[in-house]
Amino acid sequence: MLSKRASTITPSITLGISSKVKELKAKGETIINLSIGEPDFLTPDKVKEAGKKAIDDNITKYDAASGNLELKKAICEKLEKENGLHYDTDQVVISSGAKHSITNALLATINPGDEVLIPIPYWVSYPEMVRLVGGEPILVQTKKENGFKVTLEDIEPHLSDKTRMIILTNPSNPTGNVFNKEELQKLVGALVEKNILILADEIYERVVYDEPFTSIPTLSEDIYNHTILINGLSKSASMTGWRLGYSASNKELAKAMGSIQSHLTSHPSTITQAASITALRQCDEEIKHMVATYKERRDLILDFFKDWGRLDIIPPVGAFYVFVDIGPLAEKIKEDSLSLKVCDDMIEEHKVAFVPGIGFGQDDFLRLSYAASLEDIKEGLKRFKTYVENLLED
């Protein structure tokens, strides 16, 4: 009954963890959830008000397929002001979440059999999305000593005449690491010279702590023309459920993505789009407050791992995740998947949820999300330390 496409698709491991947490909570258990991939803040009140007003003002009819013009203007203003990027409104396509923007981008560029480079560790959905559009995901192992930031050296053995695109996530989910300008220049410059397209997923770009953020299309005109920039409001404005993502690219690609979207979903909800104009133009303070709060939590976690001194982490510079090296536990755990076993033990025995690194292609790590209260983070870390110490002393 199923298409080949549907029969090979695997369910999202992160959603699997969420179901497990829900199942345990339904049984009356209290779970410390450090597995969550969404901000723990509410959508700013101003945005909610704008959404309600849109309903009262009857902004409830079809709009332009590639997105509302006023919202496109607000996106162009944001890109100019915050990222130093100039785009015209006809280079922007607004979709129902960054996930949908990425799907449009792949549908517009990937032919069956085209190869798409995806550095490991990767965000769980990329390989499946590439397969869904008929492309071939080429997984590229990166190195812990480089903070898992992919280098040209990592990529070179995987290049072929079918290489069409690379997906770069900056800041990274799951590592929280961020490329600096020089690293990007070297890497992206060389790939674009080979006519490889860059899908730049910058959804966490507002959540960066220590360094200025470099948006990939700012690097050169050639890079700008070869890049499909992906962003959205899920993470920055805490609007995950509203579903608002966008792409910015050259006009030819934007036109194609708009046409594809016109036949699939038309456009995101008009109510969401109206509220998003407010999120982009009036929520700077709220976003700064969220980022300052994440930074406080990040600092606490850095101190915890430094004081403990038992396990390494990739020191996070952005997003709200810490990637923890559980490799040393392999001497005690002889299961097929180290990270699944550790995360299973943590949730079953210690009531703390993490995401196993295997979901990101890196089984000797786990992902801790600090989109959670300081209290929960402290308690979750304490229980994790107890688990690790007991295991290693056995």
Ligand X SMILES: Cc1ncc(COP(=O)(O)O)c(C=O)c1O
What are the residues binding ligand X (CB under 6 A)? 37, 97-99, 123, 169, 173, 201, 203, 232, 234, 240, 245
Nearest residue (CB) to ligand X, 97 versus 147: 97
- Give the tokens for residue 348: 């079953």
**CB of 369 vs ligand X, minimal distance in Å:** 10
Q: Phi and psi (nearest 5°) for 318?
A: -160, -175
Residue length, the chain?
394
Nearest residue (CB) to ligand X, 218 versus 369: 369
**CB of 126 vs ligand X, minimal distance in Å:** 8
Q: Give the number of other CB atoms < 10 A from CB of residue 293.
A: 18
Identify any residues that bridge with 198 across adjacent strands, giving them in sequence order. Answer: 166, 227
Q: Alpha-carbon distance 92 to 75, whole Å?
A: 8
Q: Alpha-carbon distance 226 to 179, whole Å?
A: 18
**CB of 293 vs ligand X, minimal distance in Å:** 19
**CB of 151 vs ligand X, minimal distance in Å:** 20
Calculate the alpha carbon distances from 305 to 309, 333, 378 in Å. Answer: 6, 21, 12
Q: Alpha-carbon distance 388 to 214, whole Å?
A: 37
Nearest residue (CB) to ligand X, 87 versus 321: 321
**CB of 230 vs ligand X, minimal distance in Å:** 7
Contact between residue 207 and residue 176 where contact means Cβ atoms under 8 Å apart: no
Residue nearest to ligand X (CB): 97
Cis ω for the linkage preceding 171 (within 30 of 0): yes
Nearest residue (CB) to ligand X, 214 versus 329: 214
Nearest residue (CB) to ligand X, 163 versus 172: 172
